[in-house]
Structure 1
Amino acid sequence: MKTAIVSLVLAASSSLGPAREAYQSGDLPRARASLEGLLQPLRLTNLQEEAEAHLLLAATLHAQEDLPRAEQEAVEGLALDPDTKLDPLVYPPDFIAFVERVNVQRRERITRRAAERRPPVLLPRSSSSAPVLVESRPASQGWYLVPFGVGHLVHGQRSKGTALAVGQGTTFAVSAVSLGVALSMRGSDGRYSAQDAPTARAFNVSYLVGAYAFAALYAYGVLDGLLASPAPLTPFPGRVPEH
């Protein structure tokens, strides 16, 4: 419901309306000219609108086979809104796949651009000297130790995080249910009856397979996050020059 409301609000935007209409009607030159006019110089004050404008321009450039420029605009859009979801009714499947590939392969550039666009936080000082500018800290890599793809989702890797969440959740559920059923089939003496033994054996095997699969997916998620992902940018304090 929330996504539908946001889509309706964006659809009513007077700034992006002509460019969106031109793109959807196939008038790519007009869409490109309109979007470049909004972004160069920047005439959009809303970050979500700016992110959509970059991604809409990326889609236009992708359709015109200007892939380097399309990748650059996709990076800008993802840096502004890493949780954006492209509407398959608006964008073609090949462009959606292109943006997902950019989101994975250009993660370091996206993170760097997001840090550059992030507004500094002003912290008041107790003395009368000038305030200190402190950049917001990026998410810790310790999140990768949390199962179910939490670390990847926190760091903006939505596709990989969702895959890990589904895979680990499924294998964990299969393992837990199989173990519970196998234990419930035991008699008061802790043994299985001759009639229940084959079924219990199958559930025990299912429990072990699920547990090993969960452990393998968890280990992959941790190693992929800590070794394959770029290290977070180191925040640094800056001081406003005193006059």
Structure 2
Amino acid sequence: MTGLLVAMVLSLASPLDPAREAYQSGELAQARAELEAVLYPLRLDDDGLEAEAHLLLAATYHAQEDPSRAENEVVLGLAASRDATLDPLVYPPDFIAFVERVRTVHGERIAALAAARRRPILVPPVLASPGAVPERPAAPAVATVSRGWYLVPFGVGHFQHGKHAKGTVLAVSQGAFFALSAASLGGALALRGDDGLYSAGDAGKARGLNVSYLAGAYAFAALYAYGVLDGFLSSPEGAGERAR
């Protein structure tokens, strides 16, 4: 039981108690040694204790008439805990006034050191599950060109399916024969009289125009049939897809 009580008392004891007692007893060298041992390197894991240690060491330097070191320790102590207060029963009034002066003069430096002490909170990255399969990018949309375009004359179907050379040939040739046939028919009809018959002088000319009309019509029909067959035979179902 006695050992348990001793352990509890030791656990509640502050690591700064020896230095505090030495300072209050006037043993400044011992207090300085105790405080420097726990601050350099730092052996305290609590900001409040660290601030108290720096201020107590500053008070020791101040009592030893070393104001530059005392001022630096005050800055470090206030940066560790800006709300740190001094017990007037422990520290003399001149040192308390010294601390307040340093707090005012070096306010920006204290704030900068306090901000540098704050550690950023890192958010752990979200890891994908081991069995997750990365999604593939969607395939580009395609538009299928209908083979029904081959039923349109003048090479329209070939142009729609990207066969520009054949489309140009069919457009020119079909257009020429269509124009010849239409012009011949128009001329032959214009030579007819009111009774629908040709005069003796226009009969030969009308005969030639009719022949030209029929020849152009047959040639146009042949080229149209060729274009349709060529398109359907050279473009099986499903061909002619082009990216949108």
Taking structure 2 as the reference length, what is the TM-score of the superposition?
0.46
Larger radius of gyration: 2
